[in-house]
Amino acid sequence: MKLAATATDRLTVRTAPVADPGDLLAHLPAPDALAWVHRGDGVIGWGEAARITLPAGAGRFTDAASRLRELFAGAHVDDPLALPGTGPVAFGSFAFTPHAPGSVLIVPRHVLGRRDGTAWLTTIGAEPPHPGLVQPSTAPGPLTWSDGALPAPAWQHAVATARDHIRAGRLGKVVLARDLRAHADAPLDARVLLRRLAARYPACYTFAVAGLVGATPELLVRRHGGRVESLVLAGTSARGTGPAADAARGEALLASAKDQHEHAYAADMVRDALGPLCSDLHVPDRPRLLRLPNVMHLASAIHGRLSGDRSVLDVVAALHPTPAVGGAPTAAALDLIAELEGMDRGRYAAPVGWIDARGDGEWGIALRCAEVDGASARLFAGCGIVGGSDPAAELAEAQNKFRAMQYALEG
């Protein structure tokens, strides 16, 4: 665990109510942003009181929860609000596979939050918060684009190979991802990307943690007290060009045996993972449509009540990876991903979000995102492959999913 040079093992944390700050993202003072915003509410952070870099391994979620409990247990906390997201908060993102590095938790010195009409500012230590934008943000200039690990024809071939494995009965579903790379003339500012994503995709969870920036439609888990919620997305269609075409596409998606089959894998896994952790659990009989500006998904909202004292990271550990980002059976799908994708996903399609000292928090799956490193960005998109998949259609779906981050970068 890396602590800021002026910090001690005992963090001094103060949360105070504040007037409505308006646009949360407008208050980020520097490009190294921390954010989790949904329909204008959420938490943003800046400064760094502590950073926990987690070693690779299957126990990374358990290790994260344990080390955070130790850190927060030693803190002196003045939090009169005691709401989810008040008091000390850690923003985090994890590597997709257990053996990959990159999992990290960051406890910011300052957190500005808003929930259901209540706003607050949390400060760790004596350093005053910086009002407004201390460093002006600059939109990206012209970008140069290049293929990632696999060009389009090679990725379509990988999809066809995966489909053949499924038709031969070796597995039921696998999610294959591809990447694109963008290069600018100057370092990219995460704040610009966040503001564009939040404005265009308000129904998504706009996030930034340690250079991973995106707007995910998929809520892996929310824990507020003993209640947990998860939003399962699997099965996708492009939006129509007008109301009539859009309605027809939606009806076709709901009627699609291929997409319903794909969705059932994901929803059943979440039910099976949450069931042992909950005293009651509600899973809808059929998915509904979730419409976003560029695509629509089949969606199932699952909710329940936890049995026992489990933090949100305990639930994350039970859920990742879902069939929506891996496949089913999980082990066979992950083996095929390693064989066919030709790349390390890094933190793509893995949990990203925040946790507070009470164990409350919100974690999504890092989709519609990019790893930003200086003037470069690596974009990701994935598609669920089943026996009825068509490689050309899957490539078109991936292209649609890239559009969110392409818009964020190009405006």
Residue 358, in any domain of the structure: yes
pLDDT average, residue stretch 390-404: 96
What is the per-residue pLDDT across 331-371, written as a single tens digit (0 to 9) for each?
999 999 999 999 999 999 999 999 999 999 999 999 999 99
Query: What is the pTM assigned to this prediction?
Result: 0.93
- Please tell me the predicted confidence (pLDDT) of residue 3: 46
Residue 55, in any domain of the structure: yes
236 backbone dihedrals φ, ψ, rounded to 5°: -140, 145
What is the per-residue pLDDT across 252-296, written as a single tens digit (0 to 9) for each?
999 999 899 889 888 998 999 999 999 999 999 999 999 998 889
What is the per-residue pLDDT across 195-232, written as a single tens digit (0 to 9) for each?
999 999 999 999 999 999 999 999 999 999 999 999 99
Q: How confident is the model at residue 393 (pLDDT cuts 50, 70, 90)?
A: very high
User: CB within 8 A of 158, min separation 6: which ones?
Assistant: 150, 176, 340, 341, 342
Q: How confident is the model at residue 158 (pLDDT cuts 50, 70, 90)?
A: very high
CA distance readout (Å), 339 to 62, 155, 369: 28, 12, 23
User: CB within 8 A of 409, min separation 6: which ones?
Assistant: 140, 143, 182, 184, 188, 193, 370, 377
User: CB within 8 A of 269, min separation 6: which ones?
Assistant: 322, 323, 328, 330
What is the per-residue pLDDT across 320-342, written as a single tens digit (0 to 9) for each?
999 889 999 999 999 999 999 99
User: CB within 8 A of 248, min separation 6: which ones?
Assistant: 240
- Please tell me the predicted confidence (pLDDT) of residue 5: 35
Residue 108 pLDDT greater than 70, yes or no: yes
Q: Which residues are marked as active site?
A: 173, 218
Residue 40 pLDDT greater than 90, yes or no: yes
- Please tell me the predicted confidence (pLDDT) of residue 411: 87
How many domains are there within the chain?
A: 1
- Please tell me the predicted confidence (pLDDT) of residue 1: 47
% of residues, the chain, pLDDT over 70: 97
Residue 322 CA to residue 320 CA, distance in Å, equals 5
- Please tell me the predicted confidence (pLDDT) of residue 46: 96
Hey, is 399 helix, strand or coil? helix
Residue 133, in any domain of the structure: no
Residue 156 pLDDT greater than 80, yes or no: yes
- Please tell me the predicted confidence (pLDDT) of residue 294: 86
Please report the sign of the dihedral spanned by the C-alpha atoms of residue 125, residue 37, residue 409, residue 373.
positive
302 backbone dihedrals φ, ψ, rounded to 5°: -110, 135
- Please tell me the predicted confidence (pLDDT) of residue 9: 57
Domain holding 68, by residue range, is 2-126+143-410
Residue 107, in any domain of the structure: yes
- Top-confidence residue, 1 or 39: 39
Nearest to 35 by CA among 26, 96, 360: 26
Angle made by CA atoms 297, 299, 302, in degrees to the nearest 5: 160
DSSP-derived secondary structure letter, 310: -
- Top-confidence residue, 269 or 146: 146
Residue 133 pLDDT greater than 80, yes or no: no
Residue 135, in any domain of the structure: no
Q: How many other CB atoms are there within 10 angstroms of residue 402's CB atom?
A: 18
pLDDT average, residue stretch 396-407: 95
Q: How confident is the model at residue 7 (pLDDT cuts 50, 70, 90)?
A: very low
Residue 19, in any domain of the structure: yes
Residue 136, in any domain of the structure: no
Residue 13 CA to residue 18 CA, distance in Å, equals 16
Residue 132, in any domain of the structure: no
What is the per-residue pLDDT across 59-107, written as a single tens digit (0 to 9) for each?
999 999 999 999 999 999 999 999 999 999 999 999 999 999 999 999 9
Domain harbouring 358, CATH code = 3.60.120.10
Question: How confident is the prediction for the chain on average, in pLDDT?
Answer: 94
Residue 130 CA to residue 44 CA, distance in Å, equals 13
- Please tell me the predicted confidence (pLDDT) of residue 332: 97
> Using N-to-C axis directions, what is the helix angle for 257-274 and 312-319, rounded to 10°?
130
